Every structure is written in C-alpha cells, then in structure tokens.
Structure 1
Amino acid sequence: MRSPRMRAALAVGAAALVLVGCSHRIEGSAVSVFADPFKVGGMTAVDGPTGLRDDAIAPTRTVEDTDGGEIDHLGAQSISDIEQYWAYAYPDNLPGEFRPVEALSSWDARDYAGGFCGGPTHGLVNAGFCRVNNTIGWDRGVLLPALRRVNGDMAITMVLAHEYGHSIQQQARLVRSTTPVLVGEQQSDCMAGAYTRWVAEDRSPRFTLSTGDGLNDLLVTLLSIRDPVLTELDVEINGVGDEHGTAFERISAFQAGFTDGPSACLAIDAAEIEARRGALPTELQRDQTGDWPVSDESVHAVYEALKILFAPAPPPALSLDANAAAGCADARPSPPASYCPATNTIYLDMPALTAMGTPDIELDPTSLVGDNTAYSVLISRYMLSLQHAKGLPMDTAEAALRTACLTGVATTKLAPGVATPGGHSVKLAAGDIDEAVSGLLTNGLAASDVNGDTVPAGFSRIAAFQAGVLGDWDRCVSRYAG
C-alpha cells in the first residue's frame, strides 16, 4: 500500500505451514457441473492414505553414492515410478521416444566430499537435473528429509517429478538456449502435476495420494519452493535469469498438468505466463517493504478502497465489536472476520485478524503468512455483502468458491492503487497474491460462505481465486452459480 504518511503494501513472506483461524467444511451435493466444489480436476476430493505403499513394488533404479538410507530409497522409488508414468504418457503427448535418465546420485550437503554435475555438493541444499550428462541428483542430508518431515513421502516425489520434467523437456526439445528459465521451470511444474494425477488416480504401483489432505500438502510444498520476493534493485543488479515464479504461478502450472495432463504443459510459454501475470506486480519498488501491519487504520483503509472500487448502495457497515457477530439472525460468526446479512455488517476481531496477518519468524523463518493473509479474509466478507445485495445464495459450497473467486477479482483491482479519503493509497504489492494463496490453502476462510464453511480441497479454493484474478464478476457468478 501507499500513503502520504507511510509506504507499505498487502505483504508477503515465504512458505506458510500454519495459520491462525480455521473454517468448517461444507457437506452436501454439488450443483455446478462446470466447477464442482467437491472435486479436484474431475476427481472427488477425499482424504486417505498418501505416500509409499506398504506393498510397493521394488525400484527399477539404483542410486550412486548412496548411504543406503530411507531417503535414497524413496528417491529411487520416486524416479522409478516417474519413469513408469512417462513410459506410458510420453508416446501419446510428446515427439520422439522416451529415454530414462542416465543415472541417479545422492549427496549430503553437510559433507565436504561429493560432487554433482561438475561441481561440489557441500552446501548444495537442492535437487537438480544435470543437462550435461542427463542425470538427476538430490541432497539426502538436509533438503529431502525436511520436505518429508513437513509434508510426507510425496513431497520428495513431487520435487523429483519436477526435476524429471527437465529431462522430458530436453527429450521433446521443448526448450532451447534462448528459452527463459521461467518457462522451463513452470513447464516442469506442470509435468509434475500430470504425473501426480496418475498417482491420485491409483495407477501407481508404488505411491498413493489422497485428493484431500494429501494433495493439499503437495501444494504447501510448492509454496515453500517459490521464488523470494524481489525488489527493483534486485532485478537491476541480478536480472531475472533464474526466475522460477511465484507460488501463485507455480501452483497454477501444477494444477494445469494435474487437470489436463501433459498437453497443457506444451501451452506454457512466455506469452502464456505473461497473460497469467496480467497487471500483477512482480517486484517491490525501491521504497516498499511489502509490509503494512494489520491495524484499525489499515483495515479501514482497505474497507474504504473497496467502497470506492465497487460503490455499493448502501455499503456494508464495518464494526470492530467482534462479539456482536454472535447476535446475527441469519449467519454464524466466522472469526476473525464475519458478515451478517441481516444488518449488512462486517464484524472484525482485530487481535485475531492481526495475528492472522503476522508471521511468527521465530517459529518459522520462511513463513509465507503476511498482511494479505488477513486482508484477503476481510475482502472476502466484503464480497459476501455484494453477493447479498444481488440476492445470490450465500450458504452453499458454490457460494464459498464464488466468494474466493470474487476475492481474486477485488484483489486484482487493487493493483493500480486506490486513493482513499483518509489519505492512503491502497495498492497491491509483489507477494500479496502468494499470501492470499497461503491463507486459502491453510485455513480457507477467504473461500468460505457466509457461515465460514469452506470446501475440502485447497486445490479447488486456489483454482477459484485464480479464476477471479484472471477474470471478472460475471465469470465468478456464472462459474459458481449454485
């Protein structure tokens, strides 16, 4: 955000695993055929086992320089499974003939010995594909154990599926020396999504993946490996040659592969990525911190900006008396932000909303929790008031996703900046969209109905938000019509 008194923004951090607040899941039957709230990519969203099967068949690949531990076993199983998928999928989708990578290697980034792709591996907390000799390697000491500890076996498999995507690109000649790194990386995210769909369909003989919590965990993993927010100075000094993309971009690429298969990955190029970015900011300006702490002043500024953008008559009232939400005649409270249709009032619990938008750096130094995690929830309640004025259903699964979609519309409208009577300029900053995505995935409140109920799959909540970021009011209403 901008203001004559301060310069700030709806902010960003890095990889949220825990957020304050929780919403209820909606039970019921879906109405919309076009965008089923209870499905992800056409598959029913259900919880269940995720990870290496107890009866998994043996790996077909071995690992060089292995320590013989569980991480390398998972790596070998992952690559074996990914290759089985591509042996099946490649002929129908890509030119030429599928060829497995030449070798797999492992190292411990804490050790001084070892090498990969012609360089030392000490301090190399990473996984990668080496184009020089067509090999894949990974850090068994730091990176993969951390991914597994937080998000399970399939987090390792997904990261290696992304790296394998680079081998597929080479074989199919989808990239060349002039192809932007950003394009190659998001194509690989898409290919990881295509493989993951095969696992979710229960076709893998080694792994299983639930379309509920299991898939949610993989999206959290994508949050954790998105690019850090750059400043204009960063870009001037270092350029964007190794850009991988924001969490919003990487998740949308993954979702394309999961939903439509490898053919969707072929459509990802510089123009397609630019279209997805639209007018969204990609780096912080020199005088921006990307941070406007949630306060009475800031939420009133966001509220005033929404009044200017949408000009409802009458606008909803804004109350900081959170306890009064319990007296609403036609909706349950959904703290820290509630909307009551009977009184056309938004109620905020400011301490809880502030906590929601404040990262705990000591607990998680890479936290993606930030200001817009909270502001997006406020925006979603404002979008409920606009739906109420139009007489739209407000307590259905479709209403929850419609709200997420309209929150995306409103968030994008803030990109150019809105001057408020209080002297602020409420303006979207780089990283804000990722903060909203983090909240959608981990608490779902910005994708909830008037009672704070949401749908099971974070995949669906993010897809609805994305539809709004890239669309408009009419698209959201027609897509989620129930």
Structure 2
Amino acid sequence: MDRLSRPAHTWGLVVVLVCALLASAGCAQTLVGRAVPAEDPGVTVPTPVPLSSGDLDEISMQIAEQLQAYWRSEFPRAFGRPWQDLTIVRPAHPDDPAEQLPPCVDSLDEVDNQAFYCPSADAVVWDADGLIPQLDRDYGAPGVVVVLAHEIGHSIQNRLGLSTAARADPQRYPTILLEAQADCYAGVALASFAARPVAGLRIGPQERDAAVLAMIGFRDPLGVSPGDRRAHGNAFDRVSAFQDGYLGTATTCAGMTLDNRTFTQRQFSSADDAARRGDLPLAQLVVALDADAREWFGSLAPTYAPGWQPPQLEARPTAACPTDAVRAQGPASFCPADGSIAIDANSLAPLHRSIGDYSAGLVIASRYALALWTAHGGSPTGIEAGRAALCLSGAYTARLVDSTTSFSLSPGDLDEAVQTLVADTWAGRDAAGNADPAAHGFDRVAVFRLGVLGGPAACFGS
C-alpha cells in the first residue's frame, strides 16, 4: 500500500490505536510472449499432480498437438478461415551444448527458462530443461498447458494479422494488450479441455486454480510501467484476461482493445514505496485502511443503507459476538449482533508476512463489505452474504487503484488480493464463518472482479 502524507496530529492519535491493535495480536527478431516465471509467487500452491514420470518432451509435444487440434476446429468456427498448423513446435535443451539452435535466437541462453512464439518463423519453442520441469513441479499439468496455450495464442494473433498491425502501430497495440489477448486464448483452450477432457489430462476446479496460480507466477516484476515494451501485465490483469477467455470465446479475446480494456499495472508512486516494495507495516496498514474504509463504505450508506454508520475497527471482538463465529471468520470478523468489526492481529500477521500488506487489507475490507450488505437488509449469513463480501471488497479495492486520497494501492497490491482469494476463503466467508462450498479460487476472483469492474451497483444487482 502507498500512504501519502498525513497531518501530524492524526498520527499522534494513531499511535494509541496501533498499540491497542498489536497488543491483541537482445535478439534480432521479435519473440512474442516470452514466459519467464516470477522469482517468488508468494502464495501456497495446492499439491500439483505431475504430468507423469515419462518423457516430458513427448508429453509437452502431445499437449501442443492437442492445443492445435482444438484450434483446427475452433479457429474456423470463430473467425471464418481455416487453421494453418504452426511451422515449428519444439522443445529446446539449453543445458545441452550439442543442442541445435532454435529459430529466432542467437544463443541457447536466450531460451533458458523461457517459452516464446516467433512470428517470422511461425515457431513456438520452450525450455525443456528448466521451464517445463519447474512448471510441472509447481503447478502440475495446468502450468504446462497454460504456457503452451499462451504461446499458441500469439500464433492466433499472427494468423489474424495482429502481429503486422502491432509492428505498424505499437501505440494502438502495446505489448501488454497482446499479452492479455494471449492469456485470454489460453483461458479459452483450458475451458475446452475442461468441457471435453483430453486423455490423460484432467481439468477440474483444482486444476483450474493451479492454472490461475501459474498466471500469477508469470506476472511482471513490481513497478513495471504498463507502457513498457516488455510489460506482460500484473497478476490481476493476467488472471482477468485468462478468466475472460475461460468464461468467453475466442472472439472475446480477439475483441480486446485499449478502448475496452483497463490495465491496473502501475509504477511506484514514490521512492519510499519502492524501497518497502509497496508494503506498509501491519500496524500502519490497519489504521490507515480502517479510516479509509469507513469513509468509503459510509459514503454508500445514503444509497444502500440509509442511516448506517460504519463502525470503527476494534482490537478484539465485543462481548456480543459469538466466539465460534468470530473464530470461524478468521483474521477479521463482523458481528451482526452489534454491527462491530474486529481483527485478530496474530492471524493477520502471517497473511501480511507471506503474501503482502493488501492480503490483510482485503480480509479487513471484506468485513466492512459484509457490514454494509447486512445494513442494506441482506442476510449476514449464507452464500449471497459471502458473494457480497467478495464483490463489495472488489468495489472498494477499485477505488484505491488511482486514489487521490491519502491511501492508495501500490504495485503488487491487486496481485496480493488475487493470491489471497485463490489461497483461502477468508474474504468470502459469511458472519458465521461459512464459505460457499462449491466455490473455488477461480470463482472467488471472478466475484471480486465483478466489484472491481462494476462498482457497488453490480454487487447489489442494480
């Protein structure tokens, strides 16, 4: 999170609350879509199911062939023209000095830990020594599928003439847009595998979440400008594009433009924010978010809950709150009996430490969201309550992207929200501590995005 300057007298009062809270708690040709895993995904990945103990080169080639088989039928249906198979589809072994040099690169070092599509050679190439085994270890089969599907997605762009258009007008077709389209095409392909399983490749809800985590793992480093010619997108933007493809069609992806696509990737706003990697200390985060969330959710009261006043965050639950319900809600809780909101600093700290400050911030915001939903007349318990908590916390988060107030998102904060939503159900739990048993990380992110993109009205169905 980024905090701009606050009046000195405000921070004098803050110290008291902080104490109370903590006391309780380079080649000549264009290579499109280079896939480079992030150094630290920052989130616990479900135990992956490896592809097999067999030959990963053979398996990867089979996956690539299955992807092309899908596009042989879907490409004509979506775009009214036949699919032309890729000219070159092959693994590369940069660890082998005798390896034949792949097209479009000057040395094997350029392939190390990467996958790419080269339009001039119509070639998809990937590192079979480092990248594929790592993806298999970290994410199982879905990790390999989405990377190869992404690169083949770039070949779809080439077949539609977008590669030429992008070279002619890079301002209209920046890299980040091309990458979003390719992520979208990967989502389309994965959805097809889920609907019509390929032999030996099961894609169910858990595998779909693993694919989302792989997308998170391939986000840009913090602070990269969305206008950078190397920008691929932050985790929120990449997962959003993947979801749009999974829930949409190939024409959904082809229709993405700068006019209908908003990218949330941002640079650091200050040297101080960059130095701390966008993270506030937990105590400062809690105090700053409490004040900001009360202001924003309170501003919605005249429309959705006349007369309601958001409560000030408590350092511990009040006596009116059932202990079991408080514990079941997790690091932050909403008490319908008296409308109070409280945190468990000891439970927030691991989220803050393992994922980042907005992981804790999202969970707190979701309790304000649940409080507003209840004041609106909604039940504090049940599936709709959990969805409202996710959606309204998304609407609140959107307000922070380019906020002109003293509290705003830093690069990486939206990514932390996505990671938290995939990793656990905290933000989607109702006042009894129950979450939708049928929802998975993919679903929670989708509901959160509904609020981010549609605002409060989308959450209340208006």
TM range (shorter): 0.7 to 0.9
In the alignment, structure 1 segments of 5+ residues that lack a partner are: 7-11, 20-46, 55-67, 360-368, 420-424
The one-letter code matched in structure 1 to 2:269 is Q
Alpha-carbon distance between aligned partners in 2 of 1:341 and 1:291, rounded to the nearest angstrom: 34
d(CA) in 1 for partners of 2:327 and 2:348?
17
Given candidates 258, 274, 279, the residue that maps to 1:292 is 279
Distance of 1:394 and 1:298 partners within structure 2: 26
AA paired with 1:467?
L
2:203 to 189, 201, 209: 209
Closer, same or farther: CA 106–416 of 1 in aligned 2, 3 Å: closer
Alignment partner, residue 178 of structure 2: 184
Shift of 1:430: 2.2
Distance in 1 separating the partners of 2:257 and 2:269: 26
The answer as to whether partners of 2:115 and 2:126 remain within 8 angstroms in 1 is: yes
Task: Give the C-alpha shift of residue 441 in structure 1.
Answer: 0.8
1:402 aligns with 2:388: yes
> Deviation at 1:272?
2.1
Mapped contact 1:51–1:154 kept (Cα < 8 A): no
Equivalence for 2:191: 197
Structure 1: which amino acid aligns with 2:67?
A: I
Counterpart amino acid of residue 446 in structure 2: A
The structure that is helix-richer by fraction is 2
The yes-or-no answer on 1:433 pairing with 2:414 is yes
* Structure 2 residue aligned with 1:442: 423
Superposition deviation, residue 345 in structure 1: 1.6
Which structure carries more relative contact order (alpha carbon 8 Å, separation 6+)? 1
Q: How does 1:113-132 map to 2 (within 5 A)?
A: 113-114=98-99, 115-116=101-102, 117-122=104-109, 124-132=112-120
Q: TM-score, normalised by structure 1?
A: 0.78
- 5 Å-filtered alignment, 1:241-256, equals 241-256=229-244
Of 259, 266, 282, the residue aligned with 1:282 is 266
State which of 276, 288, 293 in structure 2 corresponds to 1:306: 293
- Of residues 325, 341, 357, the one that matches 2:352 is 357
TM-superposed CA distance for 1:189, in Å, is: 0.9
Q: 1:182 to 1:325 in 2, by over 3 A?
A: farther
Q: 1:80 aligns with which of 41, 61, 65?
A: 65
Aligned to 1:17: 43
In 2, the alpha carbon distance for the partners of 1:322 and 1:13 equals 38
CA distance in 2, matches of 1:332, 1:393: 19
TM-score normalised by length of structure 2:
0.81
Q: Is the 8 A contact 2:382 2:430 kept in 1?
A: yes
CA distance in 2, matches of 1:254, 1:417: 26
Contact persistence 1:127–1:137 (CA under 8 A): yes
Superimposed CA distance per residue, residues 393-431 of structure 1 (whole angstroms, 9 cap, x where no aligned partner)? 222222212211100111122234475xxxxx2122222
> How far, CA to CA, are the matches of 2:191 and 2:401 in structure 1?
34
Contact 1:13 1:370 in 2 (8 A): no
The structural deviation recorded for 1:318 is: 1.9
Contact residue 293 and residue 354 of structure 1 kept, 8 A: no
The Cα of 1:453 is off from its aligned counterpart by 2.6
Q: Relative to 1, partners in 2 of residues 1:184 and 1:416: Cα closer, same or farther, differing over 3 Å?
A: closer
Kept in 2: contact 1:333–1:339 (CA 8 A): no
Matched, 1:2 2:3: yes
Q: How many residues are matched? A: 409
Q: 1:188-209 deviations in whole A, cap 9, x for unaligned?
A: 1111111111110124345221
Amino acid of the residue matched to residue 78 of structure 1? I
For residues 330 and 448 of structure 1, what CA distance do their matches in structure 2 show?
A: 10
- 1:414-433 to 2 correspondences below 5 Å: 414-417=400-403, 425-433=406-414
Percentage of identical aligned residues: 28
Q: What amino acid is the match of 2:77? A: D
Instruction: Work out whether 1:392 is the aligned partner of 2:373.
Output: no
SS of equivalent to 2:260: helix
Q: Which amino acid aligns with 2:192?
A: W
Structure number with the higher strand fraction is: 1
Structure 1 pair 344–266 and aligned structure 2 pair: CA distance change class (3 A): same
* Counterpart mapping for 1:3-402 below 5 A: 3-4=4-5, 15-18=41-44, 70-114=55-99, 115-116=101-102, 117-122=104-109, 124-175=112-163, 176=165, 177=167, 178=169, 179-210=173-204, 212-230=205-223, 240-273=228-261, 276-277=262-263, 280=264, 282-287=266-271, 288-289=273-274, 290-311=277-298, 313-321=308-316, 327=322, 333-359=328-354, 369-402=355-388
Separation in 1 of the partners of 2:325 and 2:415?
33
Q: CA deviation at 1:229?
A: 1.8
Helix, strand or coil for the counterpart of 2:353?
A: coil
Partners in 2 of 1:474 and 1:417 — Cα distance?
A: 19
**Offset of residue 385 of structure 1:** 1.1
Query: Is the 8 Å Cα contact of residues 394 and 450 (structure 1) preserved in structure 2?
Result: yes
In the alignment, structure 1 residue 461 sits paired with structure 2 residue 444 = yes
